[in-house]
Amino acid sequence: MLVFLIGNQVSTSAQQQSVIYISGFGFLALLTVLFVLAIPLLAKFIKNDVTIQLLANRRWIGIYSFVFVLIHVVLVAHFFFNWNIGKMLENPNRLLGATAFIILAAMAATSNDASVRALGKYWKWLQYLVYVALGLVPVHSFNIGMLFMKNVYAQAFILLAAVVVIIVKVGYNLAAAKRPLF
């Protein structure tokens, strides 16, 4: 709602308003995906009721993150491309975003107990694809972001946060390498 409120208050034209909506939901989606990935790391370093609740509700927070991604994609398709999917995918940077969207959609669709049981050991591998999406989205947004990602400080923050999350996660996985991956 905040994105829509800001878009209504600061825009001077319908096109500027749509750019604010699209950029806002894209940026919000990226931030929430980073947050979801940081939750287990926070829980390892900070043990309190908040981090325990965040960890317990991580799946739902991830699904809400995908809702932001979906809103971003729908707004792009509607306002910029009039639902012409072929035209949307002409640009390699948009193709990166589309690939990340497919990964995140698959993750959201399989974020339920039935999928965990049906996919077995492969469910975890599917969930690890979020790190591929985390690599694709900053490249996508740095190259075609129209609002938030034009700011060098926002770019630095996102890049630093993504690198820290990935390095810490890989470090913990290497430390726990004694357990079998399959």
Position 41 scores a pLDDT of 85
Q: What is the pLDDT of residue 168?
A: 80
Percent of the chain whose pLDDT exceeds 70: 86
- Tell me the per-residue pLDDT of 88-137, one tens digit each, with 9 for 90 and over: 889 899 999 999 999 999 999 999 999 999 999 899 889 889 989 988 98
Which of 77, 173, 80, 66 has its CA nearest to residue 110? Answer: 66
**Please, which residues have CB within 8 angstroms of residue 35's CB and are 6 or more apart in sequence?**
61, 65
Region 69-76: mean pLDDT is 95
Q: Sorting pLDDT into bands at 50, 70 and 90, what band is 42?
A: confident
CA-CA distance, 123 to 31, in Å (whole number)? 24
Cα distances from 38 to residues 27, 51, 169, in angstroms, run 16, 10, 9
**pTM of the predicted protein model:** 0.81
